[in-house]
Structure 1
Amino acid sequence: MNGKKLLLYILLFFCCLHTFAQTIEIVGEIEDDFLKVPLSGVKVSILNPDSTVVVDSAKIVDFRNRNGKLLKVMFSAAVKAEKRDYLLRATRPGYGDVWESVSVLLPEIVSSVRLEEPIKMRKERNMALNEVVVKATKVKMYYKGDTLVYDADAFKLPDGSMLDALIRQLPGVTMNDGGEIFVNGRRVDELLLGSRTFFRGNKKVLMENLPYYTVKNLKVYEKQTDKSEALGYDVEPRKYVMDVNLKNEYNQGYIANVEAAGGTEDRWLGRGFLLGFTDRWRYALLGNVNNVNESRHIGEHGHWSPATMPQSLLTTRSVATDLDYQSKDKNVTDNFNADFTSSNTESEMRQRYEQFLEGSKPMSLTENRNESDNWHLKLVNRLVFKKPSYFDFTSYFDYDKWDARGRSGFEQWDKDLTASMRTNALSEGRGWAFCQESGGTFNINKEKQWYGGYSLFFRYSDNQSWLSNRYDTWQTVSQAEDVRYNASDVSKRWTNFSLNTYFTFSELWGKVNLLTGGNVQFSGDRSHDYLYHPDTLLLASQLDMLTAITDPSNSYDSHQRNWQYKVYLALSQQASYSIGDSPLKIMYDRWRIGVDVPVSHQSLDYKRGVIDTLAHDTWVFFTPNAAFRHMSKDGKHDFRVGVGYNCSPADLLNQIAYRDDSQPLVVKEGNPDLKGTATTSANADYTRKYGTHVSQWHAGASFNYRHRDVAQSASYNPVTGVYTYKPMNVSGAYSATARFDISANIGEKRYWTWQMNADANYDHSVDHAMLAGETESHVNAVNTTVLHDGTYIQYNKDAFNIRASGDIRWRHSEGRMRDFETLDALDFNYGLSARYTLPRIKTTLSADATMYSRRGYGSAELNTDDFVLNASLSQPFWKGKLIARIEAFDLLHQVSSTQYSVNAQGRTETWFRSLPHYVMLHLVYHWNRNPKKP
């Protein structure tokens, strides 16, 4: 034992001589965990907590006796003599990697840090069985530290599939119609590519254009913000991200694919995508032309209900590029994004609305046809410096231009025709906006985690639009016919500015942190809306001598200025947790209590007809908030609860006593007595991460109470058919929600996956509604309960995938009005989706069949059954580089373009022009080019 100590002292002595007064040595031993003997041939590295390498290979010394027997293996690595944490990684072929955490606590006193226990390496066991073929089954998902990892190779998808098809197959993952991703009920904040943002967070661009075969894995974790990375510790809440990592062979060179398609009903599509990498740059180019207005895929579950059918004919032409630079040390990044889109929209709609009133059911019929052309250009550049302190500089530029034309018809019935109106409309406009943001954060005392920061924001926008309408109105009772031409010249200019400063002092009182700061915000809105009555249908920009035909009571000039000064104060305490064997400590706020004190001042210079007023008002609010979070030390249990109070002033424009009767059958009025809104909200969440078979389950609840809100009161004149609307305050509304999500892998080989998403919602709404036999609306309360459960079970093995799914939603509504018709409605669907790839010829067959049903509605035509059947066939050629695919949507022509909706006040039947069924042939070509290996 004395000899061992002597050897250790000799090693430490020479290490200290070499690094005296500049560095500290991290020293330890290495041994085989099973045999309990010294182990040589191990590589030891020292890393920062963010995994950047400090020492690539530590010094390794083998100590042997005279006979050559290995007595001890020790390592030493020199690091800077400063107080900080490190990660230690030990690797050796045939052995599993070992991670440990090391802390340098007293650099001014000690010259070395010695690990208390040896690094224990465990050997990986490989067994060879005679005459037995062992086929490994890839694990689809697993936890690595605090990260949920999905292995892309474990999912077999047909050739030509994109990233979105892969994401939809991930256990515990759901996606809504808007492209938002949820992992076990929690929304993913950002979809990353190689830990870097892509197309400014536009998830659909990446999901619909990146071939799935290029993906190595997808990681889901809480990522530090750039600001936190720059300072070296968390200063902002982490983002919940899904990080797409490519296979090594696709991280250099470029990936490209082009697609062309044509189909029945004169449908066509063409698009191209290019993604390339160099050592420092990533570039992407996207082009798309189509008149399909469809992004759903056959053989995938969900989103095929009649309610999700496209409601217009849309032709789109777009091109976009994304350039991303990252310096070698990752301290400087720059991202440039440009996007141009031109679109044409043709829409046609017919609607029948029936109101529920005792003894009477007034009905309105509406029909309109519209066509519009839109052009949009957007340029964005973001430059970030992380060292020596954080700095962010972002510039935006937007330009829009549009024109539209349309016509509509409206009829109001109450047994007999009350009123009718025919409208023809023209409109055009243009607008642009420039925005500049900059911000910085700096350490005041890094060891104590004291920091400060600032942010500046400026935006200016200018929009001009011209509208023209012809109204032909007929009122039956008075036998009066009115023909009116309206031409509007509308201009809006906005200026916004804000300055924000903040300071954080960690562990100021014991373990309590202090955050304080303030901001100044200014917004200015200068606008006008001039209404003219020419004798024909012309845009205001085409008229001469406008003042002679001006409608002064429906024209206005407005100049509104809003100033807000806010100070805020928050106290918090941090805690940490780690996952599994990971030495990395993840920091989070255990509790946080704060208060904001905004002082708001508004002024309005308003001219309209005989109204010429200067209004102003000042408000002081007190908005407290509190949050608590508890994480178990192993990170498996996560409990969160929060509560907050928020309020805002009423818009001064709504408090002006104006009357707008520019539309023949609609009148709008202001309300001088209108007040602002006030809301209290509370939420609680609990997440349990992974068990034997359960990947994760989550339960959550929220409650919102609206102390004061704004609703639109309405009065109806049965003689003229005119509705008059005015904003009014209501109080006492509240809502409560609860949610439970669970996903599980079934069986040892995990071929089966089961998932359930259940939620309940109770809403006590307070609004204005008309009582039976009355023409004035009164405050009314409606209670609505919605119970929902959706589940699926899926079998996925190699090239075969089948999924059975079901969804049920029950809605119960009851009101306090004496003539309120209680509603008990049931919407449910069930179906199968399947996909199979024939082994040798690699032909892929996909199909989905779902029955969508509704029950409990007041009339027979609302209680419908829609059976939707879709199918597709795809065939790869040239080793998968060329894909031919034919798709047939709604084979049985069962999906109706008519939609029904029912609420407590009435029911609505709406028909949209769309393409619910068509057949399309696609040709897709993929290729990539990678630099040759040296």
Structure 2
Amino acid sequence: MLIKPQQLLLLLLFICIGTKAQERTILLQGYVRDAFTNGGIKNVSVILMDEDSTIIDKQTVKYIDEDKTYMESYYNFNIPASPKKYIVKAEQSGYESAFSNYNVKYIARNQSFQVPTIYMKRKSKLQQVNELDEVVVKATKVKIVFKGDTVVYNADAFNLPNGSMLDELIRQMPSVTLNSAGEIFKDGKKVDNLLLQGEKFMKGEKNQKILLRNLPAYTVKNIKFYNRTNEKNQYLGYNNEKKEFVMDVQLKKEYATGYIVNAEAGLATHKRYNTKLFGLRYTPLSRLSFFSSANNINQDLRPGSDGEWDAYKAGDGVLSFKIAGLDWFLKNTDKSVSNEFYVKTLWRDGNYDAKTITTTFLPTHNNYTASTLHTNGKETSITAQNDFIVSKSFYLYASTFFEYWKTSGTLNSKLATFQANPFNSVKNTEDLLNDVFNKNDSTIKKQLVNSNKQDSDNRFYRYGIWQTLEVSKKLPWGDNISLEAEASYVKERKKNFNGYQLQFMQTNTNETEHQYVNEPSHHYNIAAKLAYNIHLLNNWNFNASYGYQQNYQYDSFNRYRLDKLSGWTNSRHRLTDLPSTRDSLLLAMDLNNSYQTWNRFHVHSGTMRIFYDKEGRKGTTRIDFLLPLAYKYNCMNYLRSDIDTLVSRRDWLFTPTISYSFRGANGKNWQLAYNMEVTTPDLKQTIRVTDTSKPLSVYMGNGDLQNTTTHSFSASYGNIIQKLKGQYYLSADFKLFHQAVGNAMSYNTTTGIYTYQPRNINGNWTAEFNNGFSVCLDKRRIWTLENNMSLKLNNNVDFVTLNSIQSYGISKVRNFYFTDGIKLTVQKNSLRIAFIGNIDIHNSKSLNSYFKTFSVCDFYYGLAGNYTLPYDILFATDLKMYGRRRYSDQSSNNNCLVWNASLIKTFMHDRLNISITGYDILQNISNHTYIVNGQGREETFYNNIPSYVMLTIGYRISKKP
């Protein structure tokens, strides 16, 4: 007999509720703080009494962040689950006794009650005694301490050059990686938030790079990695959402109050420069920081760094930027109200040169494209955000974000397409293109299909504002209700001027185009969600929510062919010139390639979330079932020359997520998760139009596009080895894409023009396995070994480029990626050396006869370290050999020895430091990327900064109140 869904739901509900009421106890908890410092107090005796002062229980306070300057001391008593009045008394020698009365009125499904914070005053005769009975931690030079599932790195145990910032400290920490985007990973797990003294500092990876690059490493006491309960969950008394994985930077006591200012200025050969200014004012209830920097050196690593940068990927182009901003954080004495405001301004200039070799796989032969690109651009941006949090009888979170962004730039490019491999006789891209455009080589001319010289001037601006509001309220019977709302408005405009000089060799024709494109756009988004959470007595929760979202976007694509105006091509006009009258401009409008869209969508969603979260002595177990069902209605008005239509689609979207995690008190943890995502096609792609706005590519819409579904599976396991002060982790991920969108392409062998159309395709998937470990090899912890390995298999299924867009074939390419990095570090007294090695292998193969299996390899090995010479002069250096093998461009298959070095001397009790740095002393750095899919492969080489020698002077000031 089949069980009905209603019966199954009731059965699950009864299982979850099964708890004996007569055995139930609840928690009575609260904090004890110093009335003057607002910090926790050690060794406080807390006595629980009834309303007649009869002693019921007694305990000594426990601690949160015990080794933190501003720790928390708290207590929790198990009491019967029945209404009762209590008196809580706090005693400690040196303090006056303090009391708090609390009435437990309504029990229902509440599992805990919060007593108002008890503030204790010092006795007058002890006012001269130290404010805290602090335990002084002597410099044992132990790098890592494991406290349950919290990992603590002692900053003083790492040997860093003077003048190092927080990012250099992170790069030396075992099992921790920091990438160029500012993302931090611990044992392969990404850090959700970066905290400073337990508080968030400027949300977002781009913003956290500011703290990483500007906070001096000498101010840091230790760095903690742990799973943190956010402000909302603290208010609710249980983890409504999963804990966030954070990296908490703890400052030394002398820098945790008062202020510090750190300034640095450097000047180098080849007109390189680097300046930096950072200030921080800290009190127990506030934080004010300001920062500014300007440089044109493209990178943040210093000599001796263990950073995972690559001599072949040392930053695209040559950039100079200036940035300035401030961050201001405030909270009240009982920490129930807080506010953080930050503003940041960025100015960036850059020039970017690229040489690209592209191979397109065709059934009969391969096509080859060589191109060069040069751009100059400027960027200005202003971002500001304010986060306001109240956590009293209710929880309130309000966030306002504003952004302004403006860019401008020019582009010059040359491109040539060949029907046979032209690199057999000519080695590099630039020589080949010079022969094409100067018409020097008749052999090359026979292989040539087309060529294109393009000049562009691009301008863009955008501004927008986003507002988020979230309110939660605990109900007397233990449940809670929450309301979330958000709204945003964005306006942007793009203007492009494009000049094309085209040559088609097979038809012996030339074309010239002068385009002007004007693209205004604006959109808004509003959303709201109401949720009710039933918090059961056995740690199970049932959460039901309803949400509504509305989005509107207007886009206008206005394209003008100025070369079609009478006499325009015979006159001298600059690229950015426009006709003198609007009527003349309208005469040049390319109606067949201009359009307007009014796009709206409405989403009604209902979500059932069932989760279990229990913290015990052995660890924390969490189970989540997220079952959202959404109805999405999307409609769009589309206007284009002879097309004026309304298109719409309706979708029911079910996207469940199931996860299980366990974090053991001994550091052991594992996770399992499954997630399904459904992506609906962009309605603009479903309009059956042909767009010829790009000279060498034609776009066709497809009204038969289907939803794309992605199934994701993941598993991970991690543990610590206490005896070896070691850590290791294993993780596996698998993604399967159903009805992915690819581009079916046809190729005109006469003109070299591609016609492409988006279509659904199946068979794409990726599988990835990662593992890593770090261990101390000796009892004195002088030697440390680290290894991180990654295996990735990508099955890429795409369309074969044919002569007709109506008929198509399928190409299947298997990409295998293997990466392994190893580091052996020795640190003793003033010497630190890290021996580093890494290998990356990329292998691609296919069953298609026209695809030639290939494998490329990148590797490096070398050392990085520092040593204190006589007269306290610090020498820091890194020397690495980089190599590449089996690339198409023979000139890129080489070895590259890169050496960076610096000498640093401090004066005035370490307040003043002077350094001289040599970057790429041997002048060998280059830049290169490699991409392969089912339709072809591409190699690109970029310009980068020249080698330089820089003299830097730094000065720091610190003062305690």
TM-score by length of 2: 0.82
Q: Give 1:617's aligned residue.
A: 649
Distance in 1 separating the partners of 2:352 and 2:57: 62
Is contact 2:844–2:854 with CA below 8 Å preserved after alignment? yes
Encode CA deviations 1:850-899: one digit per residue, 9 max, x unaligned. 12223344664443222211111111121211111111122222223466
Is contact 1:521–1:565 with CA below 8 Å preserved after alignment? yes
Q: Give 1:544's aligned residue.
A: 582
Residue 635 (structure 2) pairs with residue 603 (structure 1) = yes
Residue 475 (structure 2) pairs with residue 441 (structure 1) = no
- Amino acid corresponding to residue 582 of structure 2 in structure 1: D
Distance in 2 separating the partners of 1:406 and 1:554: 22
Q: Give 2:245's aligned residue.
A: 240
Distance in 1 separating the partners of 2:75 and 2:779: 31
Change over 3 Å in CA distance of 1:148–1:843 after alignment to 2: same
Residue 387 (structure 2) pairs with residue 382 (structure 1) = yes
Distance in 1 separating the partners of 2:667 and 2:459: 56
The correspondence for 2:556, drawn from 506, 528, 544, is 528
The correspondence for 1:790, drawn from 810, 815, 821, is 821
Encode CA deviations 1:557-584: one digit per residue, 9 max, x unaligned. 11000111110112222322347xxxxx
Residue 873 (structure 2) pairs with residue 868 (structure 1) = no
Change over 3 Å in CA distance of 1:905–1:780 after alignment to 2: closer
Residue 60 (structure 2) pairs with residue 88 (structure 1) = yes
Q: Give 1:71's aligned residue.
A: none
Q: Give 2:948's aligned residue.
A: 918
Change over 3 Å in CA distance of 1:863–1:408 after alignment to 2: closer
The structural deviation recorded for 1:263 is: 0.9
Is contact 1:881–1:927 with CA below 8 Å preserved after alignment? yes
Is contact 1:391–1:440 with CA below 8 Å preserved after alignment? yes
Q: Give 1:167's aligned residue.
A: 170
Distance in 2 separating the partners of 1:643 and 1:810: 29
Residue 417 (structure 2) pairs with residue 412 (structure 1) = yes
SS in 2 for 1:228: helix
Residue 329 (structure 2) pairs with residue 324 (structure 1) = yes
Q: Give 2:783's aligned residue.
A: 752
Q: Give 2:517's aligned residue.
A: 488
Encode CA deviations 1:667-700: one digit per residue, 9 max, x unaligned. 1111111112011111111121333114321111
- Amino acid corresponding to residue 551 of structure 2 in structure 1: S
Distance in 1 separating the partners of 2:391 and 2:805: 66
The correspondence for 1:567, drawn from 584, 606, 629, is 606
Is contact 1:358–1:772 with CA below 8 Å preserved after alignment? no
- Amino acid corresponding to residue 170 of structure 2 in structure 1: I
Q: Any residues of structure 2 matched to 1:198-277 within 5 Å, and which?
A: 198-201=201-204, 202-277=207-282
The structural deviation recorded for 1:304 is: 3.7
Q: Any residues of structure 2 matched to 1:107-186 within 5 Å, and which?
A: 108=83, 137-186=140-189
Residue 922 (structure 2) pairs with residue 892 (structure 1) = yes
Distance in 1 separating the partners of 2:840 and 2:685: 38
SS in 1 for 2:741: strand
Distance in 1 separating the partners of 2:142 and 2:457: 59
Is contact 1:142–1:148 with CA below 8 Å preserved after alignment? yes
Give the CA RMSD over aligned residues.
Answer: 3.2
Encode CA deviations 1:596-651: one digit per residue, 9 max, x unaligned. 1110100000011111110111111222222223344x343222111122212211
Distance in 2 separating the partners of 1:386 and 1:352: 58
TM-score by length of 1: 0.84
- Amino acid corresponding to residue 711 of structure 1 in structure 2: G
The correspondence for 1:553, drawn from 592, 601, 606, is 592
Q: Give 1:188's aligned residue.
A: 191
Change over 3 Å in CA distance of 1:85–1:522 after alignment to 2: farther
Distance in 2 separating the partners of 1:466 and 1:778: 38
Distance in 2 separating the partners of 1:637 and 1:737: 22
The correspondence for 1:393, drawn from 385, 395, 398, is 398
Distance in 2 separating the partners of 1:327 and 1:136: 35
Residue 493 (structure 2) pairs with residue 464 (structure 1) = yes
Is contact 2:897–2:924 with CA below 8 Å preserved after alignment? yes
Moved more, 144-153 or 788-797: 144-153
Distance in 2 separating the partners of 1:689 and 1:613: 62
Is contact 2:27–2:79 with CA below 8 Å preserved after alignment? no
Residue 82 (structure 2) pairs with residue 104 (structure 1) = no
Change over 3 Å in CA distance of 1:542–1:311 after alignment to 2: farther
- Amino acid corresponding to residue 185 of structure 2 in structure 1: F
Is contact 2:48–2:87 with CA below 8 Å preserved after alignment? no
Moved more, 201-210 or 98-107: 98-107
The structural deviation recorded for 1:236 is: 1.4
- Amino acid corresponding to residue 619 of structure 1 in structure 2: D
Q: Give 2:127's aligned residue.
A: none
Change over 3 Å in CA distance of 1:569–1:318 after alignment to 2: same
Q: Any residues of structure 2 matched to 1:500-899 within 5 Å, and which?
A: 500-507=529-536, 512-534=540-562, 535=568, 536=573, 537-538=575-576, 544-545=582-583, 546-578=585-617, 587-589=620-622, 591-632=623-664, 634-770=665-801, 778-838=809-869, 841-857=871-887, 860-897=890-927
Encode CA deviations 1:130-170: one digit per residue, 9 max, x unaligned. xxxxx973321112344211122222322211111111122
Distance in 2 separating the partners of 1:110 and 1:898: 72
Distance in 1 separating the partners of 2:300 and 2:947: 14
Change over 3 Å in CA distance of 1:605–1:722 after alignment to 2: same
- Amino acid corresponding to residue 341 of structure 2 in structure 1: F
Q: Give 1:927's aligned residue.
A: 957
The structural deviation recorded for 1:719 is: 0.8
Q: Give 1:19's aligned residue.
A: none
- Amino acid corresponding to residue 534 of structure 2 in structure 1: F
The number of equivalent residue pairs is 837
Q: Give 1:125's aligned residue.
A: none
Distance in 1 separating the partners of 2:557 and 2:740: 28
Distance in 1 separating the partners of 2:412 and 2:58: 70
Encode CA deviations 1:479-521: one digit per residue, 9 max, x unaligned. 211111111110110110100111211227x653211112111
Q: Give 1:313's aligned residue.
A: 318
The structural deviation recorded for 1:428 is: 1.8
Is contact 1:711–1:729 with CA below 8 Å preserved after alignment? yes
- Amino acid corresponding to residue 513 of structure 2 in structure 1: R
Is contact 1:25–1:77 with CA below 8 Å preserved after alignment? no
- Amino acid corresponding to residue 915 of structure 1 in structure 2: I
Encode CA deviations 1:797-822: one digit per residue, 9 max, x unaligned. 23211011111233332212112111
The structural deviation recorded for 1:770 is: 3.1
Distance in 2 separating the partners of 1:650 and 1:90: 54
Distance in 2 separating the partners of 1:326 and 1:411: 62
Is contact 2:621–2:662 with CA below 8 Å preserved after alignment? no
Distance in 2 separating the partners of 1:861 and 1:85: 79
- Amino acid corresponding to residue 879 of structure 1 in structure 2: H
Q: Give 2:118's aligned residue.
A: none
Change over 3 Å in CA distance of 1:281–1:25 after alignment to 2: closer
Identity level (%): 27
The structural deviation recorded for 1:240 is: 0.8
Change over 3 Å in CA distance of 1:87–1:809 after alignment to 2: farther
Is contact 2:518–2:558 with CA below 8 Å preserved after alignment? yes
Is contact 2:926–2:942 with CA below 8 Å preserved after alignment? no
- Amino acid corresponding to residue 677 of structure 2 in structure 1: N
Q: Give 2:345's aligned residue.
A: 340
Distance in 1 separating the partners of 2:139 and 2:277: 37
SS in 2 for 1:466: strand
The correspondence for 2:462, drawn from 422, 431, 442, is 431
Encode CA deviations 1:303-361: one digit per residue, 9 max, x unaligned. 34233212212121221111111111111111111111122111222323344557744
The structural deviation recorded for 1:909 is: 4.3
Change over 3 Å in CA distance of 1:161–1:780 after alignment to 2: same
> 5+ residue gaps in structure 1?
1-23, 27-43, 60-74, 92-96, 115-134, 580-585
